[in-house]
Structure 1
């Protein structure tokens, strides 16, 4: 059965109640509170709208987080690019990487070589 969390009218601490009209005892102060059907309907409607507001807040926070992450990445990449231009060792970095890859690939056997017979 679904449970709701409400605040005790006497001590203002939170307590859980079931989704049925009954008398509930507060675990903190011990006072007994009667919850009727109308109050349960009001609590259900209130929790529905609180859920919608929480969802919208989570979506907004995710968008802000992704925006800030993208902005930080852009700053990092622009700083890196600026440092690469001023450093003479970085100018040939990509060409060196491509040459190393060509050398590694030259030593690999091709797919056709796998099916060729070995000469004795």
Structure 2
């Protein structure tokens, strides 16, 4: 695996988001809403493909936070959300791609 995708630090701020630092010293902060909306699980991907929002769901609490985050080996992290969702595994490659593409677009929109 390319060092570009090796995570050396991942900090979780439960009400803010995550900060991830890669082996090549690239780091990014990804906010809660972005993380939840891009959940990589099959259910959320299917909803997005049909033009529906993965969050918020009508039965879910509207206040979003991270309840727990667990590493999956050396390749990803699973997040348990305050809305009860916990099916998505965010691979480090996926987080890097989000940091480099989506967040760059977000910065230029400011």
The structure with more strand, counted as a fraction of residues: 2
Indicate whether the TM-score tops 0.5: no
The TM-score with structure 1 as length reference comes to 0.33
The structure with more helix, counted as a fraction of residues: 1
- Decide which structure has the larger Cα Rg and report it: 1
Higher relative contact order (CA 8 A, sep 6+): 2
The TM-score with structure 2 as length reference comes to 0.36
